[in-house]
Structure 1
Amino acid sequence: MIIVNGDIVAQGSQFGLKDVEVVTATVDLEEVRSYRAAISRGLQAATSDARYQRIQTPFELAPEDDDADIEKRPTLPMQPRMHPVEEEIALSGGCYLWDYLRRSGTAGYLVPLSGGIDSCATAVIVYSMCRIVMDAVEEENQQVIEDVKRLCQYSQGVLPKTPQELCNQIFTTIYMGMKKQSSRDTRQRAKELAEAIGSHHVNLDIDEVYEAQKKLVVNTLNFEPRFEVEGGSNQENLTLQCLQARIRMVTAYEFGQILPTARGRPGGGSLLVLGSANVGESLRGYLTKYDCSSADINPIGSIDKADLKRFIAWAEKEFDLPCLHEFLTAVPTAELEPITENYVQSDEADMGMTYEELTTFGRLRKLNKLGPFAMFQRLVHDWSIDRKHVEGDTAPHYTPAQVAEKVKRFFHFYAINRHKMTTLTPALHCNDYSPDDNRFDLRPFLYPNFWKSWSFKRIDMELKKIEKKRASKGK
């Protein structure tokens, strides 16, 4: 920025692909001199007895002839340009991915597209990257043009003309379904998104690989694990869910390595696999260790569900992608359990909390530095069932006992799943509520049981006081 007497007269771009950006403005130095004299020299003269000799020197920052040039008026003040959260995700993520791609020298990116909002957001950020790159190509940025020619080897150096054409050259989306678990809706959403952004899309089922791995247990242990909806235990259910999730990780890397060669790309090369686990799920531990959350880099690893939804709603209009609306209204589901007439797996039901609540827990833990007891004290007011309705207030209404239960549940799972945080895919950390990069975190990664701690006991003591007071008021 160039700021004159507190007014912004010029501002550079916050994100871009230029190595150097020059920002200029015409400044009236006499205005600066007068302003400084008004707030500085007068005060110094009034409080000091010392005398300073003025020394004249033949020096000037602008020739006197410029004073007569009426066309060279000072640059007028302007309002600062601030990117909203949604735009920052699109621009910062896009620039980051392009820089990573050109530095790594690989053939492009691959995203396991599930039909859910997280993998959708990751794919849309890649599409945003392609839009930024094509804008730079139109501006004749020679460095970007050279990089695009190197990457677009399918067309032998011919420059793409649209973001979709570039996307098809360097970006692959892959839907890895299961016949019993995957719904027609998620498969269709993944296909429509791929068509809209132009990615090279692969649609496959992993049933054969899953059944082969499952038979290893059956033949070795003479025991066939079953899903809970089929009468199996919780441990059997988790085993079969994690098996699918880890098969998807292996499959993603397999296709990432062979796809450029299979598509006939000169020189072959590999695709970098992108992860799509959001920050809330990482804190909660709602992911399978070494599944598709394990990747080369994760563009959304520091972003929570609330901001991802804002980004997708913004991109639906700004990028003209009507298909994104279906992702916003879909019920979040991992689709790791069989779909029956009476049961469809739900992420929020599995976690025991909504994504909005998870966002609140994550931000209070990181930004407000609140532990279990302090968080309970805060939320027992914010989420009070007795508070008056205020327009625009979307917070839930819970009894103190319900708040206590939810806070305890969050910290319980945060404690026992913290070991997963140490293996998270490296992410772009771009906000205040992002968790630390735990690969270099020297704190213990397996915390003591919170439910036996002082914090949980204090919550129970405070809850008794609150309920006793509420009972005396007849609530």
Structure 2
Amino acid sequence: MRLLKVATCNLNQWAMDFDCNLKHIKDSITRAKEVGAVIRLGPELEITGYGCEDHFLELDTVNHAWECLKEILLGDWTDGILCSIGMPIIRGSERYNCQVLCFNRKIVMIRPKMWLANDGNYRELRWFTTWKQKDQLVEFQLPPEISEALSQTSAPFGYGYIQFLDTAVAAEICEELFTPNPPHTELALNGVEVFLNASGSHHQLRKLDLRLRAFIGATHTRGGVYMYSNHQGCDGARLYYDGCSCVVVNGEVVAQGSQFSLKDVEVVVAQVDLDAVASLRGSISSFQEQASCKTKVSSVAVPYNICKPFNLKMLLSSPQKIMYHSPEEEIAFGPGCWLWDYLRRSGASGFLLPLSGGADSSSVAAIVGCMCQLVVKEIANGDEQVKADAIRIGNYTDGKFPTDRKEFAKRIFYTVYMGSENSSEATKTRAKVLADEIGSWHLDVCIDGVVSSLLSLFQTVTGKRPRYKVDGGSNVENLGLQNIQARIRMVLAFMLASLLPWVHNKKGFYLVLGSSNVDEALRGYLTKYDCSAADINPIGSISKQDLRTFLRWAANHLGYSSLAEIEAAPPTAELEPIRSNYSQLDEVDMGMTYEELSVYGRLRKIFRCGPVSMFKNLCYKWGATLTPSEVADKVKHFFKYYSINRHKMTVLTPSYHAESYSPEDNRFDLRQFLYNARWPYQFRKMDELVQEMNGDRVAFKETGEDGGTAAGGGGMGVVAAASGNPKAGF
């Protein structure tokens, strides 16, 4: 038996904080060495942090990375252990995303990334170039200060592997695994048994299974030990990197780290038998045949044995059941951990949330409550870093620290119900009950006086006073009156966030939390610069349907039972007067259901549909219940409001990225914000198709993945909806 102990890790790095990042790297290497590991794998670009973005274009960033690497190599960190460390490197006039493989205080090999992530949230081609010389390793001249310090003038650079006396090891960096022809295929045929995948992979709902299936597939038919390392936490932007570092042997997961954690460093260790890899490969005839005519890959010889001989005291890591979180748990733990990182690194003393008693703001409140629970639990488990951060943020003295989640919430979380004459007693009560369950410092504020003052000022200036539609006013007056209330709440929220700490003799400031969901953003169903305009938004790319499911789960699993009643209540903005024959409802105002919005969003973004192709798809999907003309009306209605409200996406509050159809404008969904909202060419094409179909119903329907019928139309009528659009104004 050739026994090998390996260590991979989740690291909570912070873009451009080299002290923080270096400390975590050293800590992870120390822990790996303490348990006897001879290979340590860290995440992609771990020295700088993955999310540096245009800081990668600065020479300082690359120089500081070399300085940190030098500090590691001058110490005993790499003695007797192969360390794969991620950093940017400039060779000539080209900048590469690299894994630097170090052993015994020397750089053994520098492996530049060959296929870069350049879609969705990723823009690696903006900062790096791909390594294209696959047929050779070249000599890279080390920077003079590094060369002098290490007494090493150069290192092999390029695509290849390391050949030890008893095994072969190679890097496959993040995106390369997911390409049509991944490097591990030919590396395995060249005898590589251990694969090191350093990654910077963000959390997205229901995504983890895709990642794990790739690791399992990479070794199931080829054999091998696949090590995966990832960032974990918020390193400075909208993404949360969800860890889940793991070790896979011959298609079986033998070690798996946490997906959501407040820990800065988590090391995952596995003891494996490389003879099991050789045995599997030797038993597959096709592998033998293809290996006999393989394309040769360059290698670097390292004359050391890193495996241990057979020893009964060294237990092998056994296959284990993969740990998956439900989508509801992902919504609780992912944004909860992201909020904690943002809070502790921003210098703020807490959060303030406008809590309306509705589903969205209540979801945000529950996530903050979950964060408080995670902090108290981690402190009880002995995490000194979480404890130190909580003591500082919560302003604890005399050796005290958080031991109760409600007491901690009272110190760091304000909730404010900003009611008006249009608010109901039901939402006011629900907000108060939920605040009590979480433990927040809750305020009940009436904004009618401020609204009245503004309207009096307007009347003085213009001589007119607007009226609501139910009181005989026009659509313009109705919309204007609603937007006044919404924007006053934003101004009030920021005022309270900045001054309440002063009132309560607390240090620092509070961050204002937003609570608009991805469907409302897509539709533009929000007032520009209303209380959706905040510092950060933990639910900004989560769908209404997922939030409602989360509320039901949280009522039982987080201990906030009032969320069940909140979820059951019909969504309403409460910006218009309530009458015996009229009550404002979100889906009526929007002219479409939240379920329909999810369908539109996925077709628009994930399946890249314009108006015409969306119409064709929905004729199949909804053809059993709607005529082509009715489908066309729905598609036109969506694209009309999507386009006239697109400008709002440019000022959306920075939000946690969780959904693949998010319209967030910063990087993920790059489109113009000035449209011809009439879509004359596209809508004409749709009308022509409707005429060709002669108004007949499409006689077939699509089945979903579960075998059931896909979501039907069944939404609010376009005519009724178009008459009221309270949140669509500027």
TM-score under structure 1 normalisation?
0.89
CA distance, structure 1, for counterparts of residue 291 and residue 494 of structure 2: 72
Matched, 1:163 2:409: no
1:458 maps to which residue?
685
Match of 1:223 among 464, 468, 488: 464
Q: Structure 1 residues 46 and 281, CA, compared in 2 at 3 Å: closer, same or farther? A: closer
Question: Secondary structure at the residue paired with 1:78?
Answer: coil
Alignment of 1:20-39 (within 5 A): 20-39=265-284
Question: Secondary structure at the residue paired with 1:109?
Answer: strand
1:60-82 residue CA offsets vs partner (Å, 9 max, x unmatched): 51144x1x33xx43222112212
Question: Secondary structure at the residue paired with 1:272?
Answer: strand
**CA-CA distance at 1:154 after TM superposition:** 6.2
CA distance, structure 2, for counterparts of residue 58 and residue 153 of structure 1: 53
1:43 maps to which residue?
289
1:429 maps to which residue?
657
Alignment of 1:74-89 (within 5 A): 74-89=316-331
Question: Secondary structure at the residue paired with 1:26?
Answer: strand
CA contact (8 A) 1:102 1:147 kept: yes
Matched, 1:59 2:338: no
Q: Structure 1 residues 280 and 471, CA, compared in 2 at 3 Å: closer, same or farther? A: closer
Question: Secondary structure at the residue paired with 2:268?
Answer: coil
Q: Structure 1 residues 186 and 43, CA, compared in 2 at 3 Å: closer, same or farther? A: same
CA contact (8 A) 1:112 1:252 kept: yes
Greater Cα shift, 182-191 or 152-161: 152-161
CA distance, structure 1, for counterparts of residue 598 and residue 670 of structure 2: 25
1:396-454 residue CA offsets vs partner (Å, 9 max, x unmatched): x33332221111110000111111111111111123122243479764311112x3422
Question: Secondary structure at the residue paired with 2:267?
Answer: coil
Matched, 1:14 2:255: no
- Matched to 1:225, the amino acid is P
1:90-115 residue CA offsets vs partner (Å, 9 max, x unmatched): 11101110000011111100110011
CA contact (8 A) 1:364 1:375 kept: yes
CA distance, structure 2, for counterparts of residue 218 and residue 119 of structure 1: 33
Q: Structure 1 residues 339 and 86, CA, compared in 2 at 3 Å: closer, same or farther? A: same
- Matched to 2:686, the amino acid is I
- Matched to 2:565, the amino acid is E
2:675 maps to which residue?
447
1:363 maps to which residue?
602
- Matched to 1:116, the amino acid is G
Alignment of 1:304-453 (within 5 A): 304-384=543-623, 386=624, 397-438=625-666, 443-449=671-677, 451-453=678-680
CA contact (8 A) 1:423 1:439 kept: no
Question: Secondary structure at the residue paired with 1:245?
Answer: helix
CA contact (8 A) 1:150 1:157 kept: no
CA contact (8 A) 2:627 2:695 kept: no
Question: Secondary structure at the residue paired with 1:110?
Answer: strand
- Matched to 2:394, the amino acid is C
Matched, 1:261 2:489: no
- Matched to 1:89, the amino acid is I
CA distance, structure 2, for counterparts of residue 165 and residue 145 of structure 1: 15
Question: Secondary structure at the residue paired with 1:21?
Answer: strand
CA distance, structure 1, for counterparts of residue 272 and residue 374 of structure 2: 32
Q: Structure 1 residues 353 and 126, CA, compared in 2 at 3 Å: closer, same or farther? A: same
**CA-CA distance at 1:293 after TM superposition:** 0.8
CA distance, structure 1, for counterparts of residue 437 and residue 522 of structure 2: 32
**CA-CA distance at 1:237 after TM superposition:** 0.7
- Matched to 1:349, the amino acid is V
- Matched to 2:638, the amino acid is F
1:391 maps to which residue?
none
Percent identity between matched residues is: 50
Q: Structure 1 residues 45 and 129, CA, compared in 2 at 3 Å: closer, same or farther? A: closer
Q: Structure 1 residues 285 and 7, CA, compared in 2 at 3 Å: closer, same or farther? A: same
Question: Secondary structure at the residue paired with 2:542?
Answer: coil
CA contact (8 A) 1:415 1:446 kept: yes
CA distance, structure 2, for counterparts of residue 125 and residue 10 of structure 1: 29
**CA-CA distance at 1:306 after TM superposition:** 1.1
CA distance, structure 1, for counterparts of residue 470 and residue 512 of structure 2: 33
2:81 maps to which residue?
none
Q: Structure 1 residues 7 and 154, CA, compared in 2 at 3 Å: closer, same or farther? A: closer
Q: Structure 1 residues 74 and 235, CA, compared in 2 at 3 Å: closer, same or farther? A: same
Count of matched residue pairs: 447
- Matched to 1:332, the amino acid is P
CA distance, structure 2, for counterparts of residue 224 and residue 378 of structure 1: 47
CA distance, structure 2, for counterparts of residue 280 and residue 320 of structure 1: 27
CA distance, structure 1, for counterparts of residue 380 and residue 362 of structure 2: 27
Question: Secondary structure at the residue paired with 2:315?
Answer: coil
CA distance, structure 2, for counterparts of residue 240 and residue 467 of structure 1: 44
**CA-CA distance at 1:261 after TM superposition:** 1.7
- Matched to 1:31, the amino acid is A
Question: Secondary structure at the residue paired with 1:25?
Answer: strand
2:58 maps to which residue?
none
Q: Structure 1 residues 60 and 348, CA, compared in 2 at 3 Å: closer, same or farther? A: closer
CA contact (8 A) 1:418 1:445 kept: yes
1:108-151 residue CA offsets vs partner (Å, 9 max, x unmatched): 00110011101011111111111111121011111111111101
Matched, 1:193 2:443: no
Q: Structure 1 residues 290 and 62, CA, compared in 2 at 3 Å: closer, same or farther? A: same
CA distance, structure 2, for counterparts of residue 340 and residue 46 of structure 1: 81
Q: Which structure shows the higher strand fraction?
A: 2
**CA-CA distance at 1:469 after TM superposition:** 4.3
Q: Structure 1 residues 448 and 163, CA, compared in 2 at 3 Å: closer, same or farther? A: same
Q: Structure 1 residues 345 and 156, CA, compared in 2 at 3 Å: closer, same or farther? A: farther
**CA-CA distance at 1:471 after TM superposition:** 12
Q: Structure 1 residues 83 and 221, CA, compared in 2 at 3 Å: closer, same or farther? A: same
Segments of structure 1 that go 5 or more residues without pairing to the other structure are 387-396
**CA-CA distance at 1:299 after TM superposition:** 0.7
1:251 maps to which residue?
492
Question: Secondary structure at the residue paired with 1:23?
Answer: strand
CA distance, structure 2, for counterparts of residue 191 and residue 447 of structure 1: 42
CA distance, structure 1, for counterparts of residue 350 and residue 359 of structure 2: 22
- Matched to 1:42, the amino acid is Q
CA distance, structure 2, for counterparts of residue 41 and residue 284 of structure 1: 52
1:242 maps to which residue?
483
CA distance, structure 1, for counterparts of residue 656 and residue 592 of structure 2: 26
2:533 maps to which residue?
294
Q: Structure 1 residues 288 and 418, CA, compared in 2 at 3 Å: closer, same or farther? A: same
TM-score under structure 2 normalisation?
0.59
2:335 maps to which residue?
93
Matched, 1:110 2:352: yes
2:218 maps to which residue?
none
CA distance, structure 1, for counterparts of residue 519 and residue 683 of structure 2: 22
Q: CA RMSD in A?
A: 2.3
Match of 1:150 among 392, 415, 439: 392
CA contact (8 A) 1:181 1:339 kept: yes
CA distance, structure 1, for counterparts of residue 323 and residue 256 of structure 2: 8
Greater Cα shift, 315-324 or 244-253: 315-324
Q: Structure 1 residues 264 and 461, CA, compared in 2 at 3 Å: closer, same or farther? A: same
Q: Structure 1 residues 469 and 181, CA, compared in 2 at 3 Å: closer, same or farther? A: closer
CA contact (8 A) 2:628 2:696 kept: no
Q: Structure 1 residues 139 and 467, CA, compared in 2 at 3 Å: closer, same or farther? A: same
Q: Which structure shows the higher helix fraction?
A: 1
1:145-196 residue CA offsets vs partner (Å, 9 max, x unmatched): 1111101126666212122121111011100001x20001100110111011
